[in-house]
């Protein structure tokens, strides 16, 4: 076990994976572990079993504890231990696949009555894939193999939390299985990798089956026809240094409920001038203070550096706008 330290009660920014178009080369495959990439929201859990308390933080350090009560019981089931865990909060669809769309209503409410109602129709699972602290000692400097052994030894399995399997070597087989199952992709983690908070490192790689990432919302376009009086499309971008680069118009993927929700979100963010550093070819655009982050799926980047066939997947309150860059 690593060095002693006081039990942290918050403030650990998760370690992040670097986007990659391919898995580690075949001659290095045995030195990596592979996990499925879960289509949810990242959460670090501070579990104090001595007091039966849990505190959940998003990757931008927002307190999301009240939003997911079904995860709270882990504090009473960890044998009186003190743990800091890293994982993903996931909602599954009727086919048993992770669904970011189904998770959306849970991400944006904290009112107790609404949360209790949503728990019935959209339960969540906390999928735990790392341990950062155990009983007064940090585990972050340990290699992934040692942290994984510690995590598996805790036998964390309950109705709304579990440790999903990890596979050592043979990454191509798991990536192919994720494609066949309609899943987002895989995460490759070097067996010797320590846990480095707040870093996007090449010791962890994420390989996606589809093009998908977060974008900053910089404007909206009024709708026409059956969207008259509502949002017709969002104009999105990403940061390149301090400049917000225009990435395109997103006009599909919205439900009626989401359009109403988005209308309330953009209403107080109106701006007099464009936040984009580039010229935007939409005279009807309504500019916004760039505070909202949306997840978007698309087929490819065009030669003009805009998105082809983009589709809206939902807002990401767990991601700070200034951290949104173009993934390559």
CA angle 175, 89, 327 (to 5 degrees): 50
Q: Which CATH number fits domain 211-323: 2.40.50.100, 2.40.50.140, 1.20.1060.10, 3.40.50.1820?
A: 2.40.50.140
List where CATH 2.40.50.140 sits in the chain.
Answer: 211-323
Enter the tokens of residue 187.
Answer: 């995460």
pLDDT at 278 over 60: yes
Mean pLDDT on 27-34:
98
Q: What are the DSSP E strand ranges found in the chain? A: 16-19, 32-36, 41-48, 53-57, 82-90, 125-134, 137-138, 161-162, 167-168, 185-190, 200-208, 211-222, 231-240, 243-250, 286-298, 300-301, 307-308, 311-315
3-class DSSP state of 121: helix
Q: How confident is the model at residue 4 (pLDDT cuts 50, 70, 90)?
A: low
202 catalytically annotated: no
pLDDT single digits (tens) 47-80: 999 999 999 999 999 999 999 999 999 999 999 9
- Give the pLDDT confidence score for residue 2 in this predicted structure: 52
User: Do you know the residue count of the chain?
Assistant: 328
Give the start-end residues of each E strand in 49-159.
53-57, 82-90, 125-134, 137-138
In the predicted structure, residue 1 carries a pLDDT above the cut 80: no
Q: In percent, how much of the chain has pLDDT > 70?
A: 99
Q: Which fold has domain 16-208?
A: D-amino Acid Aminotransferase; Chain A, domain 1 (3.30.470)
Range(s) within the chain of domains with CATH label 3.30.470.30: 16-208
What's the mean pLDDT when you consider all of the chain? 95
Are the C-beta atoms of 287 and 269 separated by less than 8 Å? no
Selected catalytic residue, list 37, 206, 208, 249: 37
The model's pLDDT over 148-190, given as tens digits with 9 standing for 90+, comes to 999 999 999 999 999 999 999 999 999 999 999 999 999 999 9
């Amino acid at each position: 076990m690593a060095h002693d330290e006081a039990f942290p009660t918050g403030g650990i920014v998760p370690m992040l994976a670097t986007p990659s178009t391919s898995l580690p080369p075949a001659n290095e495959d045995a030195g990596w572990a592979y996990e499925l990439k879960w289509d949810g929201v990242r959460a670090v859990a501070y579990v104090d079993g001595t007091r039966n308390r849990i505190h959940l933080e998003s990757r931008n350090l927002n307190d999301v504890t009240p939003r997911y009560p079904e995860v709270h019981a882990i504090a009473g089931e960890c044998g009186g231990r003190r743990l800091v865990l890293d994982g993903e909060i996931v909602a599954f669809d009727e086919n048993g696949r992770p669904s970011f769309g189904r998770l959306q209503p849970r991400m944006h409410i904290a009112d107790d009555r609404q949360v209790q109602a949503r728990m019935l129709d959209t339960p969540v699972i906390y999928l735990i894939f790392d341990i950062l602290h155990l009983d007064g000692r940090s585990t972050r400097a340990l290699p992934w193999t040692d942290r994984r052994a510690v995590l598996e030894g805790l036998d964390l399995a309950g109705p709304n939390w579990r440790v999903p399997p990890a596979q050592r070597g043979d990454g191509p087989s798991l990536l192919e299985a994720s494609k066949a199952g309609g899943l987002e992709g895989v995460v490759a983690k070097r067996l010797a990798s320590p846990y480095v908070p707040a870093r996007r490192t090449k010791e962890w790689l994420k390989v996606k089956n589809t093009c998908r990432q977060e974008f900053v919302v910089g404007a909206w376009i009024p709708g026409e026809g059956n969207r008259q009086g509502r949002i017709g499309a969002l104009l999105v971008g990403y940061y390149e240094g301090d400049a917000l680069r225009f990435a395109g118009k997103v006009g599909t993927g919205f439900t009626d409920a989401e359009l109403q929700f988005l209308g309330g979100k953009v209403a107080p963010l109106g701006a007099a001038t464009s936040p984009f550093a580039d010229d935007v070819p939409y005279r009807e655009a309504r500019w916004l203070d760039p505070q909202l982050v949306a997840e978007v799926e698309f087929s490819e980047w065009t030669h003009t550096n805009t998105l082809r066939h983009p589709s809206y997947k939902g807002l990401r309150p767990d991601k700070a706008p200034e951290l949104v860059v173009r993934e390559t």
